[in-house]
Amino acid sequence: PHFVVEFPLSKLTVCFNINGEPGHVLRLVSDHKASGVTVNGKLIGAPPPPGSHKHQRTYFSTITVVVDHPKRVYIEVTPKKVILDGRDRIVLPCHSTVTVDSGVLSVSIVAGTNVTVSVGGNISFVILLHQYKNPAPYQRDHLGFYIGQSKGLSHDCHGLLGQFLYEEVGLAQLPVGGEAKPGTVLKVKGRSVPVVQKSRRIYGGAQSVDCWFARNNAAKLIDGQYGDYLRSHMFDTSEW
């Protein structure tokens, strides 16, 4: 999947890819102790399009949101259905529009379009449903994960997306010297990450965003390495 991180304070948008392997579970957001929210995403693979020399594609096939407060609720979203596991288990098809509201937690499905998970009024995630009517072999029904509102997430929030919520970044030009090519670096958390300008399509292709792209599975951009974000199962809530 490709990741886009918006830094509103710095007025910058950064993007990166995490290729991963089918079956990997990636930690996207982790704020287990403070707000009690954890988000994981599971990857599936698909062959590259014919004629392309790229390696296989990966998509999110399942996204889980675990909410701990006031009581533990597991929300599992796939392109076909949403499963809410709390005191009762509710399975909702994605092809119909429905809102499930239980006070603090609200799950709203807009038929075949998106699923919005809202926690406590100041945390919300929007999961886009990408469904193909006649998919090519390299296309798989998959999900897109977007942060709607993050005010309720704490400064200790982590995960591939969560770690950037309260960060500020800056851009700098690499000095030109010897054979080295001139380039741009992103200053984040005291680290310098080489970036190039790219464009990414978001919201299911509805919009295009210009961003600074960090290569190599976001090496140096993210804390640790991408492997550190792999979790053993979908409902893992262990801290960073």
Partner 1 sequence: RVPRQVKTILAKETRPLIQELSIKTTIMSRYAFTAVYCAMLNRRSAASEGVFQLQIPANAYVSNFTMIIGGRVYQSEIRPREKKVKPEDGRAKNKESGDPSAEPEMEVFKMAANIPGRNRAVFMLTYEELLQRRLGRYEHVTSLRPLQLVSRLTLDVTIIDHSAITGLEVLLLRNSRGGGAGTSRTSGRPQLPVTTEIKKEKNMCRITFSPNIVQQARIATNGLLGDFVIRYDVQRDMGIGDIQVLNGHFVHYFAPKDLPAVPKNVVFVIDTSASMLGKKIRQTKEALFTILGDLRPGDHFNFISFSNRVKVWQPGRLVPVTPNNVRDAKKFIFMLPTSGGTNINSAIQTGSSLLQDYLSAQDASPNSVSLIIFLTDGQPTVGEVQSVTILGNTRSAVQGKFCIFTIGIGNDVDYRLLERMALDNCGMMRRIPEEADASSMLKGFYDEIGTPLLSDIRINYTKDSVQYVTQHLFTNYFNGSEIVIAGKLTNQSAESLHVQVTASNSDKSIILETDVPLQHREVETENRVKAARAVMAAGARPPGSALAKEFGVVLGSILEDFVERLWGFLSVKEGLRSRLRSQTSREREDHIQQATNLSLTYNFLTPLTNMVVEKPSVLADGTTAPPTNEAISTGNEVLSEPVDPAGPGGRPPTLSNTVGGDEKRPVKKSVTISKTSADGD
Site of interaction with partner 1 (CB under 8 A) = 1-6, 13, 18, 26, 28, 41, 46, 57-60, 88, 90, 97-103, 106, 108-114, 116, 118, 121, 124, 126, 128, 130, 142, 144-150, 160-161, 164-165, 202-207, 209
Rounded Cα–Cα distance for residues 83 and 78 (Å):
9
How many CA atoms lie less than 13 Å away from 71 in the CB half-sphere? Answer: 7
Cross-strand pairs, 38: 30, 66
Separation between Cα atoms, residue 123 and residue 107, nearest integer Å: 12
Closest approach of Cβ 177 to partner 1, in Å? Answer: 35
For partner 1, the closer CB: 99 or 216 = 99
Is 89 or 181 the residue whose CB approaches partner 1 more closely? Answer: 89
Round to whole Å and give the CA distance between 235 and 16: 25
| Closer to partner 1 by Cβ: residue 52 or 176 | 52
User: From the CB of 1, what's the least distance to partner 1, in Å?
Assistant: 5
Strand, coil or helix: 18 = coil
Q: Cβ of residue 60: shortest distance to partner 1, in angstroms?
A: 7
Residue 19, sorted as left (phi over 0), alpha (psi -120 to 50) or beta, turns out to be: alpha
In this structure, are residues 126 and 140 in contact, taking their beta carbons and an 8 Å threshold? no
Tell me how far, at minimum, the Cβ of 192 lies from partner 1, in Å: 22
- Minimum gap (Å) between residue 159 Cβ and partner 1: 10
Which CB, 97 or 225, lies closer to partner 1?
97
